[in-house]
Structures are given as C-alpha cells and as structure tokens.
A and B are shown apart, each in its own frame.
Chain A
Amino acid sequence: DAGVTQSPTHLIKTRGQQVTLRCSPKSGHDTVSWYQQALGQGPQFIFQYYEEEERQRGNFPDRFSGHQFPNYSSELNVNALLLGDSALYLCASSRRQGVPTNEKLFFGSGTQLSVL
C-alpha cells in the first residue's frame, strides 16, 4: 500500500519564478492538505482540498494556489517566488468521514524548495 507520494523531492528556483509541486494521496484517502515547514519550525497549514475544491485556507497569500484532480491527487502552485518561500512543502492526506478526519493525517516526505 503506497503512502503519500510527492514529487519532485528537491527543487531549486530563482526569485520571481513559478513552481508546481505534486502529491498523490494514500490509497483510500480523498482529502489532501498542504503544509509549509521552514527550517527549525513546525509545519504551517496552507490549504486543504476535498472534492476538487479548496475547503480551508491558512494565512498564505494568493500567490499560493492549488488544484485537486478527480483521482484525488493534488498540485501546489507558487507564483512570483520569494526567498522566504524556501521551505519543505509537505502534502498530507486523510479520509473524509462526514468531515475530513485530520486527527489521522498521513504525510509525504515533502519537496524541499530552495529559492535563490
């Protein structure tokens, strides 16, 4: 049973560029959340997708956008990259049981984004 998979594992971009990160949820999961983890910090919630719609959003600018596909996989897009966007981007999946069940989130290994 494959867990949450993310690609790519590492990425180097320059300021002002755009980036797309990808995530496939754990088998049987239909809800995908994205978190940003800066060095030495805990993960910060970006947004959550269910049924191909953004359901919740954290305190991130609209340079951060996402998408969920019919097969439940998801993309995170970041436009106009800033140096401060350098971080580990984590995808987490869960299974909705009436409401998304975030008390049992499964995380991928993340994409390490470096902005130069």
Chain B
Amino acid sequence: QKEVEQDPGPLSVPEGAIVSLNCTYSNSAFQYFMWYRQYSRKGPELLMYTYSSGNKEDGRFTAQVDKSSKYISLFIRDSQPSDSATYLCARCPNSGYALNFGKGTSLLVTP
C-alpha cells in the first residue's frame, strides 16, 4: 500500500468556488504534513505545512489534518484561475526524513 494516496482528478470548478483536496495516509507515526502547488513545467512550491491535528489557515488556504482517520485536506476559498495547478500532498515522519508525496490532484479553475 502506497504511503500517501491522492485522487489525481482532474477537478474542474468555477471561479469563486470553494475547493476541497484530499489525501489519505497509511503510517501512524508522528509526522509532518505538507501541501505543495506545482504549475506546469515548474518545481513544487510549498503552500502549507503542519504537524498537528486540526486546522491551519493562511489567507485563502486552510490545511486540515485528522489523525484519527488518517485524512489530510486542503481547502481553497474564493478560487481563482491562477490557482489552476497540480496540488501535491506529502508527509515526512520526522523533520530530518525524506518526503513521501501523493500523485497530485490536477485542479482547473474556470473564469
């Protein structure tokens, strides 16, 4: 079983919609969770990271971790066409360890 599972989409929403992106993970050890955004032909860009259950908010983005169900979510409010990209969730078991990425979810926000 892959450590991080992510629906590849594609997901298409109208501008202004609330977007929900989700991942599940299989390992129960203490760990960090991250969300990266990747535009076409570019490297991933860190959006948010957290290590605790609950919500973390940054502008239009909210990361949510539910460790009891091993579920990670990213919510994007007031989505914009510039949010169109692939969103990658990732985990690492400890600050010093390598990241395990999901396959990424392709998001298209239409004007």
Contacts and interface: CB of A to CB of B under 8 A. Distances in A.
Interface of A: 4, 33, 40-45, 48, 56, 58, 90, 92, 99-110, 112
Given A40-B103, A41-B103, A107 B95 contact: no
Contact of B43 (A48, A100, A101, A109): A109
B71 interface: no
A92 B4 CA distance: 20
A80 to B, nearest CB: 24
Contact of B98 (A33, A101, A112): A33
B5 to A, nearest CB: 11
Interface string B65-105: 00000000000000000000000101010111111111110
A101 B51 CA distance: 13
Interface of B: 4, 6, 8, 32, 34, 36, 41-46, 49, 51, 88, 90, 92, 94-104
Instruction: Give the interface centre of A45, A102, A106, A110 by most chain B CB atoms within 10 Å.
Output: A102
A46 to B, nearest CB: 9
Contacts of A106: 46
B49 A42 contact: no
Nearest to A46: B98
A90 B44 contact: yes
Contacts of A44: 101
B103 A56 contact: no
Given A45-B98, A100-B95, A109 B103 contact: no
A39 to B, nearest CB: 11
A112 B51 CA distance: 32
A102 B101 contact: no
A104 B46 contact: yes
A103 B47 CA distance: 11
A104 B45 CA distance: 10
